[in-house]
Copies of this chain bind each other. A is one copy, B any other.
């Protein structure tokens, strides 16, 4: 199977970094850790680091597996954003603009550099924090939030929640009462904190987001040191998924490692649950076929999506797509070679996974 010509929809991605990067700066951006890299190690000595040296070096005119120093020297000579974004084979980027966006290309720049279409995904927590920064009257916040979301999602394709980072999934699943929300807003305003971390406010945001009707993306599983991995097992969302199911909103579980099998189970039993293995695919590098295969156990094939979750170096936008194509080819070809699937079904599932499901879910053919 050859997926080189399949134009992907990267349904969850961020911008590319605009400034040049030295070795220390680059090393900081190829790890999920937010800590300084210890002097006795290099983040190039990781699956992602080796994948960059293997798969990105040839685009810079280097041999595969070029050394990190040679790689970074060649990188500094080129317009890497245009190079890697142009080579990813992605027709549509769905861009989460809610995380440190000032240092990154915005939606329009990403479209221009890549020659692809780019659409916005609006991050719920960032919008509540924006509203709070503008609105001194606590009582006005609920209406202001609804208004802000209406305005911000007018041209957007989806919403995103990072409750995983801010609290975890072990929250009370019921929609909070107006009184509880008001009390929590009062407490939050009293602290003067910018970040929203109160579980009542976070689940109010989730419910408010679910009521918008747009597909709602949730960060699930691996991330940085802010989260506790066992508290972002998506199975913890089961009761919340049951409660929002009548709203008709589609929920997308992102990344999911090491709980991608649990995510596949949820996509199997709940009609409104979808998943991807973005971020994961990139970080596990040579292990991507093994991990993606686990995602193809219980999940109905109409529920699978592709994303890179790239943030920062444009290598990641390219690498997400490249590793997904290699891994999906490997996994699906194996099913065919085992005598279990037909080649036609394998090719069809690859198209659903890499493109068609996202076009349907986000209505991209009507844009």
Q: What is the interface of chain A, defined by CB distance below 8 A to chain B?
A: 31-38, 40-43, 45-47, 50-51, 54, 64-65, 222, 224-225, 228-231, 233, 235-236, 238-239, 242, 257-258, 261-262, 265-266, 268-271, 283-287, 289-291, 293-294, 296-298, 300-303, 330, 334-335, 338-342, 344-345, 349, 352, 360
Contact = CB atoms under 8 A, between A and B. Distances in A.
A225 B269 contact: yes
Given A225-B270, A229-B238, 13 more contacts: A34-B269, A35-B269, A40-B302, A43-B300, A45-B301, A47-B296, A54-B341, A54-B342, A222-B268, A228-B235, A289-B338, A291-B297, A330-B338
Nearest to A264: B258
Given A286-B341, A293-B287, A340-B54, A301 B46 contact: yes
13 contacts: A31-B269, A33-B270, A45-B349, A46-B300, A51-B340, A54-B342, A64-B342, A228-B238, A230-B235, A257-B297, A285-B340, A287-B294, A290-B293
A240 B341 CA distance: 42
Contacts of A222: 265, 268, 298
A242 B225 contact: yes
A264 to B, nearest CB: 8
Given A40-B302, A302-B41, A340-B50, A261 B262 contact: no
Contacts of A271: 33, 35-38
Contacts of A296: 47, 287
A41 to B, nearest CB: 4
Contacts of A302: 38, 40-42, 45
B229 A300 contact: no
Interface centre among A285, A286, A289, A360 (most CB of B within 10 A): A286
B269 A230 contact: no
A270 B51 contact: no
A215 to B, nearest CB: 13
Nearest to A169: B230
Q: Give 4 closest A-B pairs by Cβ, nearest first.
A: A41-B302, A286-B340, A229-B235, A258-B261
A85 to B, nearest CB: 23
A331 to B, nearest CB: 9
A255 to B, nearest CB: 11
A341 B224 CA distance: 26
Contacts of A33: 268-271
A283 B258 contact: no
A46 B300 CA distance: 5
Contact of A284 (B38, B45, B297): B297
Contacts of A224: 269
A40 B360 contact: yes
Contacts of A45: 300-302, 349, 352
B293 A335 contact: no
Contacts of A65: 341-342, 344-345
A350 to B, nearest CB: 12
Nearest to A336: B286
Given A40-B302, A284-B298, A268 B340 contact: no
A105 B203 CA distance: 47
Interface centre among A34, A270, A298 (most CB of B within 10 A): A298
